[in-house]
Structure 1
């Protein structure tokens, strides 16, 4: 069955919550997402003004997605790659890389100057991003604090 890549609608994004649940349960993440939280996350992204959401579809069913949000910085307009995930049984077939490539083309056509993301700093996921041409920042680090 051929895979179709295109923009994802908010309704299709809502149907994609299972992708987060299944993909993030696998190594290296080992995260236990509820379907409700995954649906809320995708709704947040899909309804954010300026969101660029792309998906891979097989037989009209989403099997992977990438969501990027506008982020203007000192250098100008950029995109923050907020989420990318592919169903486990479709991983390692180039779908995620195709989503990234298509996102980069759309970003360039829309005048964005850069795409940035936050992810693991080493291991398979880091290798995936560097293999797709992304470079680790030498200046920035992620900080976290839980309120309370």
Structure 2
């Protein structure tokens, strides 16, 4: 098992894993591999991209996002993270986050932030891994093309 930074050649495999993981419980989202590729490739091509993957013989998981400047220093917006459904609950997600954090510390990034549904297991996972829920912050969405 090893961790390494994501390269352009990894995006297709990450998209395949992403579409599989997020099409199952508890998300049940209708991701196709092509839609997942478009999303992940968009992040890859964006300024400040950082991504780490976990692999053995096959891809086991990844975490990716973008470094953003802020008035008190750089922050990392964790856009997507997933672990193969067969590996969830075995500590691999924790180790993946640790690897990501180590890479970000070496880049002098001050903090990581993310958004997730508070009613799914991922919310508990992030809390268990040191993330604090900010009840003073809100996530707003407005449909503009119905």
| TM-score bin (small chain) | over 0.9
- Quick one: which of 37, 50, 61 aligns to 1:52? 50
Equivalent residues in 2 for 1:22-61, closer than 5 Å: 22-59=20-57, 61=58
SS at match of 2:69: strand
Instruction: Give the match for residue 76 of structure 1.
Output: 73
Q: Normalising by the residue count of structure 2, what TM-score does the alignment of the two structures yield?
A: 0.92
Superposed CA RMSD in Å reads 1.3
Equivalenced residues, count = 145
Deviations 1:103-134 (A, max 9, x none): 11111111111100000224422110000000
Which consecutive residues of structure 1, in runs of 5 or more, have no partner in the other structure?
Answer: none
Which consecutive residues of structure 2, in runs of 5 or more, have no partner in the other structure?
Answer: none
SS at match of 1:76: coil
CA offset at residue 73 of structure 1? 2.6
**C-alpha distance in structure 2 between counterparts of 1:122 and 1:76, whole Å:** 31
Instruction: Give the match for residue 87 of structure 1.
Output: 84
- Quick one: which of 58, 63, 66 aligns to 2:60? 63
Q: Normalising by the residue count of structure 1, what TM-score does the alignment of the two structures yield?
A: 0.91
